[in-house]
Amino acid sequence: MKKLLNLFQWCIAGMAIFSLNACIIDSNLPQNNNDHQTHHSDPRHPDDQDQQEQNQQQQDSIPFSKTPVIPEMSLPQEAFVDELEEEASAIIDASIEKALAYVSVMKDARHSTMAFPYDEDANGFLDALSQEELEIYDKIVAAAKKGEPFLMDETEYDGELKDVFFAVSTPLNQLEPAIESYFTLDASVTISGEDYVSHYKNIFSIYYDPYQDANVTVAKGNVTQEEVMHGVYLLDRVVKRIVRFMPVGLSTYDQYYYLAAVISEQVTYDKSPKNCYTAFGALITGKAVCEGYAAAFQLLCREAGLWSAYRYGQPRGQGHVWNMIKLDDGIYNVDVTWADGSGLPYEIDWYDSFIKSDEVFEDDGHNATSGVEGTGNYTPSPYEE
């Protein structure tokens, strides 16, 4: 008996470590529309920067004893290089402006500028692959980035093709958050005998609509390859645009803060969209669950060249994922999902889930089960000594 199985979904669902489809968060998520006393400014204009500094001197200073006043800022006008850049601007600029306004007030000179480079394999997923599996993985990633088909027949591999399929699936979906938004692997499988033994004949690529999920595919005629790749290029432009506008000279702490603030402004926790588990769902659609938040943060850290990894847990018995970051005094937890559910990025409660030690995250119920562990003990938020 022969079946064509959607094995990607089966393998991920079957692995407890990545059973993350029920992230925990307060359903009463903040609406990012608080009224502020505002001052319109250009973040790159010296006179406006002087005015921001004067405003900050007139109010409470770090460490804040009360919620500070946040100015309103605008990005400089620009001539877009093409329609794709203009489309990216329409999607993300409002969130960038908000994040820049927050950084202008919340940036904290007490933190070091020492930064650790992005480590593609901080979680050790690639290290678990054999040399041959790693070469196959690299070919899959290269094909996916170009939008080209990938097909591997059983005759091209000496061992069990099933082993390759499962081996590369985990790093593909954890280390390539952009690719995960539109690409997956499937396989042709023969199942035989009373014990239903499976034999993999080949593994192949599936391209799907990043606005939907792996059921809306090019192969089925539901979406064109051109439409898929437009989404791919759009996500890339949005990511690059976010990082391009990150202020120069920030501490490493505040670089992470800027990226997290953009995500917090851009994304609303929502598990109803089909693409809510992806970085595309978070940054382009603006709706995601914990996987989407964490994937978006990982993707931005990669573009910014900042060290980042994943952590997995079972708060209240349900799956959850967040990120780990590295400062000069150790590795810390960053949970943008929970932060976003606690307030706006300049409010004290938001910082309860941003750059905290393992002890703090254990006390608040994250219940970490796997992933990179924290080593840092304490680094102050703008509200702490």
Q: Is 385 contained in some domain?
A: no
Q: Is 203 contained in some domain?
A: yes
> How much is the pLDDT for 53?
56
Q: Is 70 contained in some domain?
A: no
| pLDDT confidence band for 59 (50 / 70 / 90) | low
pLDDT in tens, 143-159: 999 999 999 999 999 88
Total domains in the fold of the chain? 1
> How much is the pLDDT for 44?
47
Q: Is 184 contained in some domain?
A: yes
| pLDDT confidence band for 66 (50 / 70 / 90) | very high
For residue 217, what is the DSSP state?
Answer: B
The closest of 264, 277, 326 to 301, measured between CA atoms, is 326
Q: Is 215 contained in some domain?
A: yes
Q: Whole-angstrom Cα distance, residue 336 to residue 351?
A: 10
> How much is the pLDDT for 50?
59
Q: What is the mean pLDDT of residues 268-283?
A: 98
Phi then psi for residue 165, to 5 deg, are -55, -50
Q: Is 142 contained in some domain?
A: yes
Q: What is the CA radius of gyration of the chain?
A: 22
Q: Whole-angstrom Cα distance, residue 7 to residue 345?
A: 39
pLDDT in tens, 103-158: 999 999 999 999 999 999 999 999 999 999 999 999 999 999 999 999 999 999 98
List all residues 6 or more positions away from 223 whose beta carbon is below 8 Å from its beta carbon.
Answer: 208, 209, 212, 216, 217
| pLDDT confidence band for 194 (50 / 70 / 90) | low
Q: What is the mean pLDDT of residues 165-192?
A: 95
β 330-334/354-356 pair status: antiparallel
Exposure class string for 218-232: b at 16+ Cβ within 10 A, else e: beeeebeeebbbebb
Domain range for 161: 2-21+122-228
List all residues 6 or more positions away from 313 whose beta carbon is below 8 Å from its beta carbon.
Answer: 319, 320, 321, 322, 366, 367, 368, 369
Report the run of H or E that residue 258 belongs to, with start and end.
helix 252-266
Query: Chain centroid to CA 175: how far?
Result: 10
Exposure class string for 59-97: b at 16+ Cβ within 10 A, else e: eeebebeebbbbbebbbeeeeeeeeebebbbebbbebbb
> How much is the pLDDT for 37?
37
| pLDDT confidence band for 343 (50 / 70 / 90) | very high
| pLDDT confidence band for 43 (50 / 70 / 90) | low
Q: Is 148 contained in some domain?
A: yes
- Cis ω on the peptide bond leading into residue 63 (within 30° of 0)? yes
pLDDT of residue 261 exceeding 90: yes
Q: Whole-angstrom Cα distance, residue 275 to residue 211?
A: 6
pLDDT in tens, 292-306: 999 999 999 999 999
Q: Is 216 contained in some domain?
A: yes
Q: What is the 3-state secondary structure (H, E, C) of 297-350?
A: HHHHHHHHCCCEEEEEECHHHCCEEEEEEEECCEEEEECHHHHHCCCCCCCHHH
pLDDT of residue 24 exceeding 50: no
| Least-confidence region, from 22-26, 76-80, 241-245, 377-381 | 22-26
pLDDT of residue 6 exceeding 60: no
